[in-house]
Amino acid sequence: MQLIRQGRNLGVLAILAAMSILAFSGEATVHAGSQHAPILITSDSGFTSDNGVVGGRGASDDPYLISGWDIGPGNWGNLPAWDYGIMIANTTAYFTISDVTVFCNCNNGIVLSQIENGVVQDSQVSVPGVGVKVDTSDNFQITGNSIASGDSKVISLTNSESFDVSYNRLQGGEDAVVGSSVSDASIVGNSGGAEGGIVLDNVSGLLISQNNLSGHVSIAVLSCGNVTIDNNTASAFDEGIAVSDCSNVLVSNNNASNMPYGNGISLGESSSIEVTSNNLSKDTNGIVLGYYATGNNVTNNAITNNQCGIAIDPTALGQNYIANNAFQGNVNDTCDPDFSSATTSGTSDSSVNPSTLKPHQPILIDGLGGFTASNGVTAGDGTSGNPFIIQRWSIDASGANGIEIRNLPNAWSTPVFFVVRNVFIHSESNSSADIVIDSVQGSQEACFECRNNIFNGVIANSTLVDNAEGIVISSSANIEVSGLSIKNTNIAIDCTNYSQFLQIRTNIISDSRYGVYMRCIINDIFYNTIRDTDYGIMLVNSGSIDAEHNSISTPRGFTLQGTGNVVMASNQISGGAGFTTQLFQYGIDMTVPQDVSVEDNLITNTGPTQGQNGPAGVKVEGCGVDPVTGQPSSCNTVIVGNTISVGNATGVALFPSSGVEVFHNNFMNNMIQAFDQSGLNTWDNGYPSGGNFWCDYTAVDNCSGPQQNICPSPDGIGDTPYVFNYNQDNYPLTKPY
């Protein structure tokens, strides 16, 4: 397999490296720590001393230098929010930001938008929003910085190429490095941790090397080609390295170990992947060859002390070359993902240790005293360091729930911990649930989004098929559901009675009516794959839900009814046939939403639509009524940073509503781009931030300024508004966001 570093990329990085050295040779100097207001540069002519430039002339051998500034008061506090600390847009001149501190209540610390030839180095950024945000840019470098985000992405990269992100210290936030539609770049030597590590989709020509980023998922690449993932330390809770819908990827010399509830390296719907010379130890599964992972090579890996060395989905059996791996100390060296039997098909390793699951009657644990050997407990004493283990059973749930754990009392003083893993639960009656967790209380000190959280209950790495419901969680808290394969159910994952503090991650759900059905609060739904269901994720009267990085291919993606305080971000939502419904209806449908953020999603459809229901990429219907005044209230909802291409449907449809903000989206090839029945919503973010990109916008960009009357001075914003049904975008973008 070829390494990815293209000649053009090496040349770019050489120039950037020279810029980072030359940046220190400017004659003008500023004492470190000098205060400066937020910096906004919207064209090459904006590189002035008033805008913080202390040297340089904008050439490759003498870049403009912005250095030595403190931007912000040094705390977040309750100060008014700024949109950015530094924003540079629509430039081609060479520049370097160096030795700058951005510490403010900012939505974005440093923003690079539609730039070429920039370096951000040796700076400190600490903001509640995105640390460094780059879009539609190329030939740039982010290196040697310390960047922290409160509750957003640390580094965000979209629609960009020919760049280097290296040797940064990254901390906090949703993901350390998140990227979409990026190419010909390197992400090397970064360290730290966030909820997720490096998460990339729609990428090509990347080198990911020498990173050490902890989180629930260390490295995840989706929809990719020609990527090298080499010599990383993948320290994670759920997934070390996950590769999905990719081809021509080299995964080599990585250490993906110590994930007792997760997988070291997993491949799904991918081919031509070379997995070689990795160290995989003390994981649930060392390597997973998942759904339709075919034509891959798995060779010369050290696979030790895992529950399963290599787990192989039935769709991948006999379809991969597996040879010369060193197995030692695994419970099973190879096995099916449902762990019903060990497999050797398609392998040439001689150290296979065949084993089968043992049959067990349905298990009912009612109270703490129910954790006994006769109830399937195979190990543990119920403490956080030694939880009760229920594993390696095959259970027929035709006459009763497969495993039911209930009535664990308030656990604040003496918490109980248990793990259900590696079980296969099936049914002939389709009338029960495979797993039920009812009235199981979590620890008082639980911080379910903290990297060091220990869940009171973990349901992991099992297969649940052919029943009325896959897993039901009722009146419970601090539970993780991860790595399940759930098929042929009415509801795959059902959360009810306001259960809270749940993590639902890395599950594969198919051939069901509902994928995830929630009537719960304060939960995360991350990295799940849902296909061939009538409804992807449904949230009913729920709140404080964070749903990110899910892949959903259904007629109805997200459905929100009377739900508030929700984030739906970085999901891939595509129209697809459902369990009983075939025609696309919507990507995201929100009825009476409150405080909802729809951001950075890819929403597509190429198939037929159900015309009588007004099919749309994103749909909003009503905002509720103020309980005090009785008047219609604001939705307080944002739709930002999405790409929407739904064919014979409407891109975004807002029925009677107000307080919806729609900006920085890409509207591509929709039959009707947008509709706003009330006309009371906002379709841009003001100047110079701008509005949306509309693929059918034909006006020119010759001027700039809030009134677009400074000419000639193009700024990446069209000179006239984009007008559609009952509203308009005052600052339409001339390039995709």
Question: Could you report the per-residue pLDDT of 718-729, keeping only the tens digit for each?
Answer: 999 999 999 999
Residue 132 lies in a domain: no
Same domain, 562 and 613: yes
Q: Report pLDDT digits (tens) over 78-91.
A: 445 578 999 999 99
For 639, the 3-state DSSP assignment is strand
Query: How far from the centroid of its chain's Cα atoms is residue 214's Cα?
Result: 15
Average the pLDDT over each of 244-253, 421-430, 545-554, 657-666 and give the range with the smallest value.
421-430
CA distances for 667 relative to 100, 693, 715, 733, angstroms: 36, 6, 20, 11
**Average pLDDT rounded to a whole number, residues 93-99:** 96
* Per-residue pLDDT band at 452 (split at 50, 70, 90): low
* Nearest-angstrom CA–CA distance, 415 and 289: 36
Considering only residues 433 and 446, tell me which one the structure prediction assigns the higher pLDDT.
Answer: 433
Average the pLDDT over each of 164-178, 628-642, 689-703 and give the range with the smallest value.
628-642
Same domain, 552 and 690: yes
Same domain, 518 and 393: yes
- Which pairing describes strands 551-553 and 130-135: parallel, antiparallel, or unpaired? unpaired
- Which pairing describes strands 259-268 and 433-440: parallel, antiparallel, or unpaired? unpaired
Same domain, 494 and 615: no
Residue 98 lies in a domain: no
Same domain, 472 and 566: no
Same domain, 372 and 518: yes
Same domain, 514 and 543: no
Q: What domain range includes position 470?
A: 360-533
**Average pLDDT rounded to a whole number, residues 446-471:** 81
The contacts of residue 327 (CB under 8 Å, 6+ apart) are 303, 304, 309, 333, 349, 351, 353
Residue 467 lies in a domain: yes
Same domain, 550 and 447: no
Domain boundary among 501, 533, 565: 533
Q: What is the pLDDT of residue 527?
A: 83
Same domain, 513 and 364: yes
Domain boundary among 533, 551, 582: 533
Same domain, 470 and 581: no
* Nearest-angstrom CA–CA distance, 667 and 729: 12
Residue 89 lies in a domain: no
Residue 13 lies in a domain: no
Residue 198 lies in a domain: no
Residue 371 lies in a domain: yes
On whether the CB atoms of residues 438 and 471 are closer than 8 A, the answer is no
Same domain, 546 and 402: no
* Per-residue pLDDT band at 447 (split at 50, 70, 90): low
Residue 680 lies in a domain: yes
Domain boundary among 482, 512, 533: 533
Structural domains of the chain, count: 2
- What 8-state DSSP symbol labels residue 94? -
Considering only residues 122 and 268, tell me which one the structure prediction assigns the higher pLDDT.
Answer: 122
Same domain, 466 and 557: no
pLDDT score of 6 more than 70:
no
